[in-house]
């Protein structure tokens, strides 16, 4: 079987669809190279003194792990000098990161969650990186936070890396979803799954069941119907899977079908959810839709939400289309 590298795939997709200009290809390659560096740091674990907390908090008030800080720095340093970016935004930083004046300013903007699933770092469970690429607005001089506040349907590329038994990179530029596996010996990304499609029929769901007592009625109804099993209204047995790394849960769903849910709940009714629209929900929604699935906040398509702030949170329901549509209909009833 002929091995196709990430670069070859991007060049061929540009020839086919004319959607990946050279600048965007270079940007994706640099992000992929940064993910390779993060994978190496993750793989060292305790040997590289990267486990444990960093003794600091991020903008959300969450305790940062050492690998959170390391991964954030790797992505910033890898991407600021190439000339294809106007600015970056990270879940770990309060505001945007401008490209230093000594480097040329490009036409794209990069958003990322440098290390998703931080609670799993110290117990050797899969974690990952999520990223989203936007086009800078026409005529923009100095980038501001407002320039980043574009709905998800404006994304030109999105992807995630999973640092698990294998390191994989899943990518879309708006023409399907492809998966690349890191060949650790060669140091290259090799195409291993082309045009991924989420299976329509599913018997799996992913949700943090410890929050069940706080769920709102539509979520309780949906989960209760699944838990009723073969004799219930759904007429089949469901299994729950929960890794607590969004990248790992979504990657399973992309391959096996299912639904991932992180709903808002009654603990803090004024908070719309936990996951961040710009760094997690939008890129994952883009990937899932490109693979034939759906992604909503319970009321509307996630990628149609107009962001109001950089670290905005949203409820998330994504995965197999029929399941997402069902739980969304319960919210709209």
Q: Tokens representing 321?
A: 């289309």
Lowest mean pLDDT among 138-142, 181-185, 292-296, 321-325: 138-142
User: Residue 289 annotated as binding?
Assistant: no
User: Residue 270 annotated as binding?
Assistant: no
pLDDT of residue 1: 67
Contact 265, 330 (CB under 8 A): no
pLDDT of residue 51: 81
What is each CA distance from 24 to 165, 167, 204, in whole angstroms? Answer: 29, 22, 36
pLDDT of residue 76: 97
User: Residue 320 annotated as binding?
Assistant: no
In the CATH hierarchy, which fold is given to the domain comprising 6-193? Answer: Fructose-1,6-Bisphosphatase; Chain A, domain 1 (3.30.540)
The string of pLDDT tens digits covering residues 138-162 is: 989 899 999 999 999 999 999 999 9
The 10 Å Cβ neighbour count of residue 239 is 11
User: Residue 239 annotated as binding?
Assistant: no
Q: How far apart are the first and last CA of the chain?
A: 51
Contact 299, 186 (CB under 8 A): no
The string of pLDDT tens digits covering residues 212-256 is: 999 999 999 999 999 999 999 999 999 999 999 999 999 999 999
In the CATH hierarchy, which fold is given to the domain comprising 204-332? Answer: D-Maltodextrin-Binding Protein; domain 2 (3.40.190)
Q: Where are the domains of the chain?
A: 6-193, 204-332
DSSP characters over 3-51: --BHHHHHHHHHHHHS---HHHHHHHHHHHHHHHHHHHHHHHGGGGT--
The string of pLDDT tens digits covering residues 84-139 is: 999 999 999 999 999 998 999 999 999 999 999 988 988 999 999 999 999 999 98
- What are the residues whose beta carbons fall under 8 Å from the beta carbon of 235, sequence distance 6 or more? none
User: Residue 115 annotated as binding?
Assistant: yes
Lowest mean pLDDT among 38-47, 208-217, 303-312: 38-47
pLDDT higher at 219 or 333:
219
User: Residue 118 annotated as binding?
Assistant: yes
pLDDT of residue 270: 84
Stated as kind and residue range, the H or E segment containing 53 is strand 53-57
User: Residue 113 annotated as binding?
Assistant: yes
User: Residue 91 annotated as binding?
Assistant: yes
User: Residue 119 annotated as binding?
Assistant: yes
**49-88 as b/e: b if 16+ CB within 10 A:** ebbeeeeeebeeeeebbbbbbbbbebbbebbbebebbbbb
In percent, the amount of the chain with pLDDT more than 90 equals 85
Contact 297, 273 (CB under 8 A): yes
Q: Tokens representing 55?
A: 């003794």
Stated as kind and residue range, the H or E segment containing 329 is helix 321-332
Contact 313, 273 (CB under 8 A): yes
User: Residue 117 annotated as binding?
Assistant: yes
Nearest one of 298, 303, 263 to 158, comparing CA atoms: 303
SS3 83: coil
d(Cα 186, Cα 135) in Å, to the nearest integer? 32
Stated as kind and residue range, the H or E segment containing 316 is strand 316-319
The string of pLDDT tens digits covering residues 19-36 is: 899 999 999 999 999 999
pLDDT at 57 over 70: no
Nearest one of 179, 173, 170 to 128, comparing CA atoms: 170
d(Cα 182, Cα 163) in Å, to the nearest integer? 10
d(Cα 321, Cα 315) in Å, to the nearest integer? 17
The string of pLDDT tens digits covering residues 65-90 is: 889 999 999 999 999 999 999 999 99
Q: Tokens representing 3?
A: 């091995």
């Amino acid at each position: 079987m002929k091995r196709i590298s990430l670069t070859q795939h991007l060049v061929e997709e540009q020839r086919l669809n004319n959607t990946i200009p050279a600048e965007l290809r270079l940007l994706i390659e640099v992000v992929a190279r940064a993910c390779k560096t993060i994978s190496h740091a993750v793989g060292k674990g305790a040997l590289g003194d990267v486990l444990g907390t960093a003794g600091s908090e991020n903008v959300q008030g969450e305790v940062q792990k050492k690998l959170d800080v390391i991964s954030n720095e790797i992505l910033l340093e890898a991407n600021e000098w190439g000339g294809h970016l106007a600015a970056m935004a990270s879940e770990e930083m309060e505001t945007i990161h401008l490209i230093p004046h000594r480097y040329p300013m490009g036409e794209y903007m990069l958003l990322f969650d440098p290390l998703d699933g931080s609670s799993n770092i110290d117990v050797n469970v899969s974690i990952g990186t999520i990223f989203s690429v936007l086009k800078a607005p026409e005529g923009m001089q100095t980038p501001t936070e407002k320039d980043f506040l574009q709905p998800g349907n404006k994304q030109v590329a999105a992807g995630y890396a999973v640092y698990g038994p294998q390191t994989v990179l899943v990518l879309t530029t708006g023409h399907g979803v492809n998966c690349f596996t890191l060949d650790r010996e060669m140091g290259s990304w090799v195409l291993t799954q082309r045009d991924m499609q989420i299976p329509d029929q599913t018997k799996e769901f992913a949700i943090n069941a410890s929050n069940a007592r706080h769920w709102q009625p539509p979520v309780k109804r949906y989960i209760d119907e699944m838990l009723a099993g073969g004799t219930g209204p759904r007429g089949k047995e469901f299994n729950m899977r929960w890794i607590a790394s969004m990248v790992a849960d979504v990657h399973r769903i992309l391959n096996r079908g299912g639904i991932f849910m992180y709903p808002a709940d009654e603990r803090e009714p004024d908070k719309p959810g936990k996951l961040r629209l710009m760094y997690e929900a939008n890129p994952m929604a883009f990937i899932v839709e490109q693979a034939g699935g759906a992604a909503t906040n319970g009321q509307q398509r996630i990628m149609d939400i107009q962001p109001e702030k950089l670290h905005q949170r949203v409820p998330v329901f994504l995965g197999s289309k029929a399941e997402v549509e069902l739980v969304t209909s319960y919210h709209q009833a």
